[in-house]
């Protein structure tokens, strides 16, 4: 192949991510031309509603997948936390790249930590997972919906519409906005979303030549960890309507996986931690989901 077209969302972060992958592919393959195809997705347009009320994570990827299916693009670059647990038939994740910081970030100009916010302070987030974990630890805080791209969220915070916000640390770092982070939230304080901080490259399952071009970008450690995390989500329904966190860490040949599900208000939180051989990360994720169910996950999730 002499030319690759990457479908991407139009936000500055999505464009950065797509160009990051494009630049890596150009370095790997001399003479390869890489072009971006920026597209607007329903997830970007519906900024006044929670994703779980509007159709879920697929709202960020459907238009990109359509462009691939129609031959207008060869691949798409996604934030893995935005990718549904099950891809549409005929599509495949050709590579998952090395993970950036998987943690969430507390953004606030006046207070250094979430725990120091006064009672009834407003914290903006678009994530039920974050809402639940804030509600569990800091029930006196008011969590409010904050949607839009990174710059839009920060602008609303700067205008005083919120006292603080919680965003993915990886996105802030990729955009050169790390200075806005007042504190990084450890996994013990706020368990990340499955795949958070990692980028995924999606293409048609039958495009072996595309898969071969992007294969060198895959990171084995990140891939193993993200597969385990996504397996938890898949076993529990795979939707952003779930207040669900999952985070895996690889040490040698051992994989440590932590996962949780919660009620949206954080009044009920169920956790599990499992360690096993890293040879079958999907099986480990399924075991974690099974343990969450044994503890009452379906009841907590309103099933």
For residues 55 and 245, what is the distance between their CA atoms, to the nearest angstrom?
A: 19
Instruction: Compute the distance between CA of residue 299 and CA of residue 40 in angstroms, rounded to an integer.
Output: 37
| 3: helix, strand or coil | strand
Tens digit of each residue's pLDDT (9 = 90 or more) over 234-257: 999 866 567 999 999 999 999 999
Query: Hey, which residues does 143 pair with through a beta bridge?
Result: 123
Percent of the chain with pLDDT strictly greater than 90: 86
How high is the pLDDT of residue 55?
47
Provide φ and ψ at 299, rounded to 5°: -65, -45
**SS3 per residue for 33-47:** EEEEEEECCHHHHCC
11: helix, strand or coil: coil
Alpha-carbon distance 19 to 11, whole Å? 12
Helix (H) or strand (E) holding 228: helix 220-236
Q: Which domains does the chain have, with CATH numbers?
A: 3-97+198-218 (3.40.190.10), 104-185 (3.40.190.10), 231-295 (3.30.160.40)
Which of 245, 251, 242 has its CA nearest to residue 285? 245
Active site residue 82: yes
Provide the residue-wise pLDDT of the chain in tens; the chain has 303 residues. Answer: 899 999 999 999 999 999 999 999 999 999 999 999 999 866 555 555 555 554 455 567 889 999 999 999 999 999 999 899 999 999 999 999 999 999 999 999 999 999 999 999 999 998 999 999 999 999 999 999 998 899 999 999 999 999 999 999 999 999 999 999 999 999 999 999 999 999 999 999 999 999 999 999 999 999 999 999 999 999 998 665 679 999 999 999 999 999 999 998 999 999 999 999 999 999 999 999 999 999 999 998 876
Beta bridge partners of residue 261, listed in sequence order:
244, 270
- Say if strands 104-107 and 164-168 run parallel, antiparallel, or are unpaired: antiparallel
| Residue 130: closest CA among 92, 168, 75, 157 | 168
What is the spatial distance between Cα 156 and Cα 28, in angstroms, rounded to a whole number? 40
Q: Which of 44, 74, 82, 101 is catalytic?
A: 82
């Amino acid at each position: 192949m002499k030319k690759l077209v990457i479908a991407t969302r139009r936000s500055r972060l999505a464009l950065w991510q797509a160009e990051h992958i494009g630049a890596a592919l150009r370095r790997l393959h001399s003479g390869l031309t890489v072009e971006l195809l920026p597209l607007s997705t329903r997830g970007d347009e519906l900024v006044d509603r929670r994703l779980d009320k509007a159709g879920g994570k697929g709202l960020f990827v459907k238009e990109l997948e359509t462009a691939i299916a129609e031959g207008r693009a060869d691949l798409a670059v996604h934030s893995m936390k935005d990718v549904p647990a099950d891809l549409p038939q005929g599509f495949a994740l050709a590579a998952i790249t090395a993970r950036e910081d998987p943690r969430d970030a507390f953004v606030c100009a006046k207070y250094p930590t979430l725990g120091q916010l006064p009672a009834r302070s407003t914290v903006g987030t678009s994530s039920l997972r974050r809402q639940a974990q804030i509600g569990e630890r800091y029930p006196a805080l008011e969590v409010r919906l904050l949607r839009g791209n990174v710059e839009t969220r920060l602008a609303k915070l700067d205008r005083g519409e919120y006292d603080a916000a919680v965003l993915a640390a990886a996105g802030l770092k990729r955009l050169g906005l790390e200075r806005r982070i007042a504190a990084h939230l450890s996994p013990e304080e706020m368990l990340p979303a499955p795949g958070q901080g990692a980028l995924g490259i999606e293409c048609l399952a039958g495009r072996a030549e595309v898969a071969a071009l992007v294969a060198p970008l895959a990171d084995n450690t990140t891939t193993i960890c993200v597969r385990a995390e996504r397996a938890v989500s898949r076993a529990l329904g795979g939707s952003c309507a779930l207040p669900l966190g999952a985070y895996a860490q690889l040490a040698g040949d051992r994989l440590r996986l932590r996962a949780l599900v919660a009620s949206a208000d954080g009044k009920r939180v169920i956790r599990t931690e499992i360690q096993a051989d890293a040879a079958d990360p999907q099986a480990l994720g399924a075991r974690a989901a099974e343990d969450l169910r044994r503890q009452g996950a379906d009841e907590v999730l309103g099933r």
